């Protein structure tokens, strides 16, 4: 990283293998990473730490992702444009709800390079160091 503070990504996913795998990858790319397995933990993190980007699983047991997205954006307004959705639900209804947020989304299983491209676009838009999501470990 050159001259930019480390960006923090919050991963909200109730599947430990996905959350932990993404966390390891993003940490190797230079991000600070927080993990929440449910909306309560995510809300706690959002109210106590600055989060630069959120990656939200649309289907977590205690709250739909779009509702958590709205809550996150109410707590930290910049997250309205700095959120990425993951979902295993290909239904038209879910896809439409996510489209209405204007945020990128990826259907599980997803291509990690496409997720990294979405992160890079967000980092560029906020004026961060895109090397965080480009450099391999």
Predicted confidence (pLDDT) per residue in 60-103, tens digit? 999 999 999 999 999 999 999 999 999 999 999 999 999 999 99
Tell me whether residue 122 is in a domain: yes
Provide the CATH number for the domain around residue 107. Answer: 3.40.50.2300
Question: What's the rounded Cα separation, in Å, for the pair 70 and 128?
Answer: 24
Tell me whether residue 48 is in a domain: yes
Give the chain's radius of gyration (CA, Å). Answer: 14
| Contacts (Cβ under 8 Å, ≥6 apart) of 114 | 106
Tell me whether residue 47 is in a domain: yes
The whole-model pTM stands at 0.89
Model confidence pLDDT, tens digit, residues 15-45: 999 999 999 999 999 999 999 999 999 999 9
C-alpha count within 13 angstroms, C-beta hemisphere, residue 108: 17
Write out the residue range of the structural domain in which residue 123 sits: 8-131
């Amino acid at each position: 990283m050159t001259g930019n503070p480390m960006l923090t990504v919050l991963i909200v996913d109730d599947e430990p293998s996905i959350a932990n795998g993404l966390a390891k990858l993003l940490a190797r790319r230079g991000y600070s990473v927080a993990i929440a397995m449910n909306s309560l933990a995510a809300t706690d993190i959002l109210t106590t730490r600055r989060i630069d980007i959120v990656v939200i699983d649309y289907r977590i047991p205690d709250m739909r992702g779009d509702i958590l997205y709205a809550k996150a954006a109410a707590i930290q307004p910049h997250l309205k444009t700095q959120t990425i959705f993951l979902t295993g639900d290909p239904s038209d209804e879910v896809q439409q709800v996510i489209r209405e947020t204007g945020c990128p989304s990826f259907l599980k299983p997803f291509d990690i390079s496409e997720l990294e491209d979405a992160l890079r676009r967000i980092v560029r838009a906020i004026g961060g160091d895109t090397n965080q999501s480009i450099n391999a470990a």
